[in-house]
Chains A and B, each alone.
Chain A
């Protein structure tokens, strides 16, 4: 079984995001970019499936600017076998919408015929939480989202999902799309020798046109603004003072 892992290049989760003063978006020039944290977890899980003998090959795919090559090299250094880069934009500030990404991924799936697509649950830049579900829809496949545990046996995947009330277990017929949540595993760091080896692994370049997909956005961003800010309040000197403050504000 082949596993396809879509990985997105996003602003590093430690970077403090700066909204541009003119409202045109978030400043992404010269900031540290990394693999979306959920996607690292998906890559890790795919590699573990290969190590367990369940998967035969792990293919990482990224859609975006040319620089997403680096993100794919990270996936290769972690242990993915091959990578596909779909260059869909020249401007780091142009985000490709989940619907277009899902359409391109559906094209990649047609070519590659994986038994499983392991996506992240959510990209931490646009916070959409949509691509995996959209891909499953376009393919007519089953989906198991927000997974914290995955077991693959024959033609079925049994998945534990993180839901509002706690946990839910479902099984999906494969091929299927699984989107991973944060508690599925701890992704490994790539070792130096593996980083060197990754430079020689195959990385194929494509364009959206190769899959017949139009990436024109359906949503026009009118403006991007800073959220309402909060001011630091008062610090109590003792529990008694805190109790007075809480009571004084009519909170209890």
Chain B
């Protein structure tokens, strides 16, 4: 279980998180929605320790994320970055099996390559892709490779940062389905940030809406369309009129 309690974070005068409280139950898929620049990525990176909150606490299974063995903590996570964040200098298979080629989870290179090819197949890519470099892939293929890398070491918790940004609707649908299938079959806890409503409906068990640095609404996906929350209604219907200012 991931718990954020009264988390604050400011960058200079800009107060991004102003008291975020959120709980993500084990084995569930939580999707965080909210407008651009509302601090969704900062919140996600705070859980991973990539951003250090100014105050508040973040725990995973009751343990403070800032305490203890950092490598062991991060070994429980997989992450798909918005732009893929694939390493340009490495071929696809070494990107996918990066964690398996070094550190505590190190395997022989042949075994790591086989696992990489299996994960590539799982995300719908042919084995021939393994020896290509990231610059030789399309945007959709890069996302899939990023997804394969995120699941390569069978993590307990997977984060997805804007998984469908920049993709055409069909490829976005493919990625959404893959994420849902993988999270379900691995039994992983998932946290996704997006403002793509088709992703929300495809991926989420639960939804939280971040606005003005706090969680404005949270609940199960089944209540998304009849929440009665004016902020959520405006956001999911994409209305210019409402409590959320269109010009920010």
Bind each other? no
Contact surface of B with A, Cβ cutoff 8 Å:
none
Contact surface of A with B, Cβ cutoff 8 Å:
none
